[in-house]
Every structure is written in C-alpha cells, then in structure tokens.
Amino acid sequence: MTSREISAFAAEEEKRVLSLRPVLAPVHGRYGDHPHQVYDAWPAEDPAAPLVILLHGGYWRYDRMHLTPFAAHLAQQGFSVLLPGFRRSGGAGGYPETFDDIARIVDTLPQGRPYVLAGHCSGGHLALWCAARSLLPPESPWHTAKLPPAVLALAPLTDLDATRRDRLSGDAALQLLGGPAEFDERLPFVDPLTLLKEAGTTGVRTVLLHGEADEEVPLTQFADYAAVHRDLETVVLPGTGHYTLIEPGAPAARAVADTLRRLSVPRAGDGGPAPEESPRP
C-alpha cells in the first residue's frame, strides 16, 4: 500500500470533522431484512420540505455515523433527511451487494416524493452511479429508467480505475470490486466515468461540488469527470478541503445547503428557473 502525504491543514480538518460526536436520529427504519439495510431519518414538520437522501462516504467500508452530525445540520436548515446504511466492503457488501442496496434505497425510500440524492466521497460515487443506471445494459438487474430527479456529488470518487491506480485508501476500489481478477470485468457496470463516456450525459440534473484544497480525492477525478459529462454543473470552493463540506456550520456546509435548496426547485422546462453554470475545474 502506498503512503499518502497530507498537509497539516488537511490532517487537522480530517481530525476535526471525523471526531464530531454522532447525533442520534429521531426516527429509524428498515428497507430490507439484512441488519445493514436500515436508515436514520430527520423528518421536517413541513410536509412540503425538500427531501434529501444522503449517502455516506468512507471508501465503501465505514458506517454512516460520521455523517449524522451533518444530516442533523441539514434538518435544522429545513430539509427532511434520510441517511441510509448499506452493506459495505470488507464485510457483508462490496460487489454486488453494495450496489443492490443502493438501488433498493433510491427505488423505494422516496415513496414517490421528489428528492435530491446527495453523497460525499464514495457516497458521491454511488450517487453518480444511480444517475447513470439508465446507461447500464437492459439485462442488468440495476438498469432502470426511473432516475433521481437531481444529484449533488460532494467531493466524489468518479473514476474507479484511477482510484485503483492511485491506491486510494489502501486499494479500496479493488476491495469494492472483489480483487484484481474481477476488477476489469465488473468496472463497466459500476464506474460513473466509464458509463458516461459514450452517452456524455445521464440526463439527470447533476452538480459536482468540491473544495479546491481537497487532498483526499485527487482533483483530476473531478476534472476528468467534468470533461466527459457535457451538462454537468460544477461548484468549486476556494480554500476548502475534503471534509469541511460535511462540517456543520462551516461556510462550505452552507454552500452545500444552498445548492440542495436550488436543486430541490424544478428548473426551466420542469417548472422552475435554470441554475447558472459555475466554472469547471
């Protein structure tokens, strides 16, 4: 495994955000029989409040508890928030179980309500994958034409081949797909960049938001994905790292909430104003 040198700024940010005390959700539920097929919910009092389904990061290995403070923060900003668990690499998940669970989450938990699908880091990868499911072969069990209305990918992993090449988080991409022997065969079915290369768009309104000072996910992942996704909107936050995006009260978290509000309003052609394009990285 290769070592990763990070700055004192990035190390302090990571420690500060990941050491926040978990927040207990007021509501819990299940979407399947497996112990990991559960979710936490922060329902808004207003039934018309925007719904956000939030997919946690952790390189497909770690649980959702580190994202509970941010989920609770979004609820305080007027959103209804669902934070699901799912089967993860290194345990009950990986390929195909992780993707089975994510597909079930977006296919069942919104219950017909409009929503924004958001995800951070590897959760951003899973959100972008959900947006691309109509590009899968029709015989794939994950293929569907019923896609999320909008996706917000926060500092996402967009390219599993590059994630493998750079050996991010101790070969997390290899672990997700079951090892070297299976990687190349499985990659086309679960990699957002690969799925996009021919189509050029998912057809889903998608914003990729990341910090200019992100040292966790190489900035080339964002740039390479933006170069392929022809109608992607990108938002780049100067002086911002990887974890501040999910730090309650931070300026970056306010930018995330503002973007979620904008995405929850239909754009032109869907009954609402179109967003302004931000510069691509």
Question: What's the pLDDT tens digit per position in 75-94?
Answer: 999 999 999 999 999 999 99
Q: Is the pLDDT of residue 234 over 80?
A: yes
Q: Is residue 271 over pLDDT 80?
A: no
pLDDT mean over 126-137: 98
Say whether pLDDT at 266 is over 90.
no
Of the two residues 12 and 281, the one the predictor is more confident about is 12
Cα 95 from Cα 171, distance rounded (Å) = 15
Confidence band for 221, pLDDT divided at 50, 70 and 90: very high
Q: How confident is the model at residue 276 (pLDDT cuts 50, 70, 90)?
A: very low
| Rounded Cα–Cα distance for residues 103 and 281 (Å) | 29
pLDDT of residue 97: 98
* pLDDT of the residue at 13: 96
Give the pLDDT band of residue 10 (cuts 50, 70, 90): very high
Stated as kind and residue range, the H or E segment containing 176 is helix 172-177
Contact 143, 134 (CB under 8 A): yes
210's CB contacts (< 8 A; 6+ apart) are 154, 155, 156, 217, 219, 222, 234, 235, 236, 237, 240, 245, 281
Mean pLDDT of all residues in 248-264: 97
Q: Whole-model pTM above 0.85?
A: yes
- What is the rounded CA–CA span in Å between residue 200 and residue 36? 34
209 bridge partner residues:
154, 235
Question: Which percentage of the chain shows pLDDT scores above 70?
Answer: 94
Q: Per DSSP, which regions of 56-177 are E strands?
A: 80-84, 116-120, 150-154
Which residue type occupies 106?
V
Q: Is the pLDDT of residue 1 over 60?
A: no
116-120 β-sheet, strand order: 27-30, 38-42, 80-84, 51-55, 116-120, 150-154, 205-211, 233-237
pLDDT given at position 127: 98
Please report the pLDDT score of residue 4 as a whole number: 64
pLDDT digits (tens, 9 = 90+) for 47-70: 899 999 999 999 999 999 999 999
Residues in a beta bridge with 211: 237
Q: Is 224 within 8 Å of 191 (Cβ atoms)? A: no
The DSSP output letter for 114 is -
Confidence of residue 19 (pLDDT cuts 50, 70, 90): very high
Measured in degrees and rounded to the nearest 5, phi and psi for residue 59 equal 55, 40
pLDDT band at 267; cut points 50, 70, 90 = confident
Domain ranges of the chain: 14-263
142: CB partners within 8 A, 6+ apart: 99, 100, 103, 133, 136, 189
Structure tokens of 139? Answer: 């015989």
Q: Tell which residue, 198, 208, 200, 194, has the closest CA to residue 159.
A: 194
- Comparing 161 with 273, the larger pLDDT belongs to 161
- Per-residue model confidence as pLDDT tens digits over 222-233: 999 999 999 999
CATH superfamily of 14-263: Alpha/Beta hydrolase fold, catalytic domain (3.40.50.1820)
Q: What average pLDDT score do residues 265-281 get?
A: 48
DSSP state of 25: -
Q: DSSP 3-state assignment of 213?
A: coil
Q: What is the DSSP letter of 149?
A: S
Tokens of 165: 């090449």
- Across the range 130-150, mean pLDDT stands at 98
pLDDT at 273 over 60: no
Mark residue 81 as left, alpha or beta (left: phi above 0; alpha: psi -120 to 50; beta: remaining): beta
- Mean pLDDT for the chain overall: 93
CA distance 84 to 102: 9
pLDDT at position 280, please?
32
Task: Give the chain's radius of gyration (CA, Å).
Answer: 17
